Amino acid sequence: MTVDISHLHLAVQGKTLLDDVSLQIDDGERVGLIGVSGSGKSMISRACLGLLPQHMQLQGSIRIGGQEMVGADERLLADMRGKAIALVMQDPASALNPVKRIADQIALPLKLHYSLNRQQIHERVVAMLRKVDVPLEAMRRFPHQLSGGQQQRVAIAAALVTSPRFIVADEPTTALDPITQRQIVDLLVSLVDNAGASMLFITHDFSVLSQATNRCYVLDGGRIVESGHTRDLLQSPEHETTRGLVDAARMLTFHGDEHTSVSAGYRQGGRSER
């Protein structure tokens, strides 16, 4: 599914949060959006799903699969969310309902968007758990009974169970350790590619971005300050914000372990270039 964000401007009480933001994602492409905390990344993800607070003033255009999202009817937005567009959030512990069993949470999007019988829903939930490599006995468990990595796998399963064509991954590995981060990113990339879907991967960490995307945009103070192939920005960043993010990723690599290696990200980006 193609995504075309054009001249997006977001303000609240006279304060500009997004200023003339434009970015494009081709059908089946994985694109990154990177920036420091407070740069406006999550505002873009919420705008894509039509989940901004009503008191915010949004101007510009967000066309997803040809459908204009800015100013669209809430019924249309509700139908697209969870069906055509899915969100994978950064903290599965808060994204998942603590009082609902895992099977019920994965099944919910199917119940909301499709007329399926109980057996059909059960079969799809089982198939999705197998795809994300979560034991089937977890179906009867509650989120707190799973590890952080398993919780994020369940969150991915719930997001992708309806076979959406566009996935927004909003810092989905922030709360995880480096080894689990890499496993989750590999899983998400594999599922997105196998489904032929498009993805916007939002993060503040270039070492994660290099693993998940081929092309990316750098956001600073609500503006796009640089864009290009992920590996090129890692090797030759031009804007000071990009250089700072690359330096931070290299420092994390130096002090961390090989699973967060930026050089591994170069190789990953080179292999998966579209």
What residue ranges do the domains of the chain occupy? 91-163
For residues 110 and 133, give the distance between their C-alpha atoms in angstroms, rounded to a whole number: 20
Written as six digits, the tokens of 62 are 């967000």
Instruction: From 158, 136, 178, select the one nearest 83 (Cα to Cα).
Output: 158
Q: Starting from the edge strand earliest in sequence, which strands make up the sheet with 57-64, in order? A: 15-25, 3-12, 57-64, 67-68
pTM check: above 0.75: yes
Question: Per residue of the chain (274 residues), what is the pLDDT tens digit?
Answer: 999 999 999 999 989 999 999 999 999 999 999 999 889 999 999 999 999 998 999 999 999 999 999 999 999 999 999 899 999 988 888 889 999 999 999 999 999 999 999 999 999 999 999 999 999 999 999 999 999 999 999 999 999 999 999 999 999 988 788 888 899 999 999 999 999 999 999 998 888 888 899 999 999 999 999 999 999 999 999 999 999 999 888 876 544 444 434 444 433 443 333 3
